[in-house]
Structures are given as C-alpha cells and as structure tokens.
Structure 1
Amino acid sequence: MNTEDNKKLPILSVQSLHFSIGGTSILNGIECRIFEGETVGVIGPNGSGKTTFFNCLSGFCMPDAGEILFKGTKITDMPPHKRARLGIGRVFQNFGVFKEMTVIENVIVAIESREALWRSFFPWGTQNKRNRSEAYDFLEKVGLHEKAEEKTSSLSGGQMRLLEIIRALAFGADLFLLDEPTAGVSPKMKDDVAKLIRLLQEEDKTIMVIEHDLNFIEGFCERIMVIDVGRIVLDGEPDKVRRDPLLQKIYFGKDANEKTL
C-alpha cells in the first residue's frame, strides 16, 4: 500500500451525495475522499445506506444531488459500463458471474472486455490462446485453475465470490467496491477472500468493502467509515472507530468488546 506521502490526490472524491426513493431519503449528504492504495471498510446498521452508496459510486443509482469524481473525472451521471471502463470494479451481494459459462470463460470475457466492451456478449468467437493463458494465470491466483473447464454453476458460493473479484482484476479495475464479500461463505472461504484482498493490496489496488464483521475487516483495513441514516458519522483508524462511544450507540447496546457488528 502507498505511504501517506504518496496519497496526495484522492482516486475517489464524493461531495454532498443525496439519494431518495419515493420521498424517503436514503443518502443525506455523504462526503468522503478515498486515496489510491487505501483499503477502507464500510460498516453500519442494516438500512443505513451502505449498498445504496456503492450503487451510486458504480452507476446503478443516480444521485439526486452531489458530485462524484474518479481519477479527477466527474462520473456522477455516467452509466455503469463507462465507470467500469474507467477502472471501477463492483462485486455485489448477489453473485455477478455467468453461471452458464465455464469458469475460465468468465475470466476471458473480462479480459476481452478491457479492449472492446461489446465482445463481452460474444465471448466464444474471440477466445485466443493469449487470452486463455492469461485467464488461467488469474485463476491460479485464487486456486480455481483446476476448475477452469467446469461450469461456473458447479462452484460453491465462496468460490463464485473469488471468481467475481478476480474477474474485476482481469478487467483492469483500480477501485474495487466489495459489497459483503463473505456473506454466506464458509470460514475457510472467508480466509480465502481475505487472502485475495491482501493480493489486491500488494498490487496497490484501492478497495472499499462493506462488511458486518468488524473483526474480519480489521485484519486488512487501515480505515473504517461508519454510515448511519445515510451519513458518514465516523471515519478513522479501526481501533479508534471501535473505541468511539458513538459506534456503540448506533448498534444499541452492543458490548464494546464484541467483534461482530
């Protein structure tokens, strides 16, 4: 990860972000700056606006007001596919892989899409040896190379999660938005997800991860943001955030030493 001296300009800047549905406010003026190479945990109660925040960052929701800058470019009204091409990789709570394809085809699609987005709809006609070899190398990073020719539908939930994240890396993402990447996975796969996040850190990628397990994200996040009622109410180093009385108030009586939020 970058040193503080290298973090001069934010890769992502969010200013006064507002979003509502049917007259109900979901986001109420979110502001933050994320620097290149940072790993930032995002926590908060259910319904606090975390996923909606990620949806606005990735283009799946358009904010009512505010501004989003990525690498200095205004992306507030930009559709998802254009944000992806700029380098924003999104991993959803529900799996975003192509289950009818083989495991390696999923990665080949991402590789080909780096150069021509339309090819993602016609993967089989453009699979050459170079792309297949590169895809296999990506699968090796997460231990899925032995399942390269199997249908993606045969993978476990945790393996699909690893595949989804590695697809974003193959596509060329610089900012990874991981929405509860360990939801519904086994403890073993949870460790594998953590290892993959550390691999992304070694490649100096910027990561934002929504999680409910504070103990899990404390293992690799250098900064934690707490969202409540659509606002960032705490933002700082994990230990300082954990000790803040406001965190306990937000979670209504959770013991200060309890690790899972």
Structure 2
Amino acid sequence: MKLDFTGKVALVTGSTKGIGFATAKALAESGADVIVNGRSEETTSAAAGKIGARAIAGDLATAEGCAMLAKSVGHVDILVNNAGIFVPADFFASDDEEWERHWQINVMGPVRLSRALAPAMVEKGWGRIILLGSESAFNIPADMIHYGVTKTADVSFARGLAKRLAGTGVTVNSVLPGPTLSDGAEEMLSQEVKKTGKSLEEVAADFVMKNRPSSIIQRAATVEEVANMIVYACSEQASATTGASLRVDGGVVDSI
C-alpha cells in the first residue's frame, strides 16, 4: 500500500513537536502540502522549516484565534485537530478556569476549525477531519478528570460530525493514543530518568505498567506509531472508515 497525498493540503494543529510534528512530517514525506501550526511564530517557523512545510502560527484557545487561522489557511483537504493540553490536577483543586481552559483548547478549537473548513471540503466532494482523542476518553484518569471529559467530547464530536457529513465524501474520525513518548511525556519522566539511571524507554515502560497495567504492548508508543494511524485515516485508502474511534493505545482500553 502506497499512501500518496500529492495535491492535498493538510493543516495539522499543534504540530511544532510530538505527535503533531510526527504527523506533519509523515504527511509531507507522502507528498502533502502541509501547514504547521503552533502558538509561537518562532517555534512554528522552525518546525515547518525542518520538513519543508508552511508555517501559520495561531492560538486556538479563543474563537478569534481559530477564525484567524481558518482565514489564513483558506481551503484545506485534510484537517488534523491535534492541538491540546493536559494538566494533572485533583478534581477538588481544579477550578472553573482550569476546566474552561481545557474545554476551549481541546474541544472548541476543533469544533471551530471544523465548522470553518469543512464546507469547502463538502463542496469539493473530498476531505478528511481527524480529532485527537485519547484512551483517557474511556479510561477517565482520576488525576485528570477535566482532561478525560474533553477527550470523551472529542470522540463524540467526531462521531456526530461524521453523521452530519454522511454521503459528502468527507470522513471524520477520532484517533485514540495511549501513553506515548511525546515531548510532554519526556519532560514529565525526566527526573525519574536522572534518579534511576534507566533509559527513557525503560522509565516510560515502568510508568505504563504502574499506571496503565492493562497495556498489552507493555510500553509507551512512539509518536511515529501514533502518526501512522493518523496518516492512514487521512488517506484515500481509508475512504470507508468514518465515525470511528481508532485506537492506537497499545491495548490499554480493555474491551473488544
């Protein structure tokens, strides 16, 4: 199977590092005209330069920021809603502001961009919209209830939008990573790496087995492994896949 995105324009939000950057890189290597997005002009331009992509910075935490990004990119064939945040915090220490921040970035950002960019896809008769969910959409983490709720909302939104766009040639899916060696995870585990002298991969595997013992691969995924699933869902070959929550969680979600 050869995935060829020649002639397709792809916007990947939050793509200056981690899963987003790996996805943007893979799409670019497969021929897509990729738009890298981040909050900072400097980091966005630097990331885009590494893969020969276009750079458009924009803060997706506000309606105004989403509108500016949508206007700047114009028409896209592929929208990967990857930008998101997670902040571990006990429920009773999470105030309205923290809930609202997660909701605006993780849920309303994808809603606003999809609403702005999907009509042109429908008019063209082809498009792909991806929502980055998480295994936390099903296994709500006790230390990040606010995050889990937003990821459940992303999965629901993808399913509903897929139904709304039925028969248009535009597919909508969510992708559910499990524990992944993203930049954020590496930062979170860095102290344990220094403390134990173990490799990052070993520390990550220990973390997975302690905190996600249902994992079948018994390790953290790489960002490239997650990006592979996203890129396939964006392809022509995935034309019969829509309204799905595609798990690349290492088997963490214990269901069939």
* Structure with a larger share of its residues in strand: 1
TM above 0.5: no
- Give TM-score, length-normalised by structure 1: 0.31
Decide which structure has the larger Cα Rg and report it: 1
* Structure with a larger share of its residues in helix: 2
Between 1 and 2, higher relative CO (CA 8 Å, sep ≥ 6) is seen in: 1
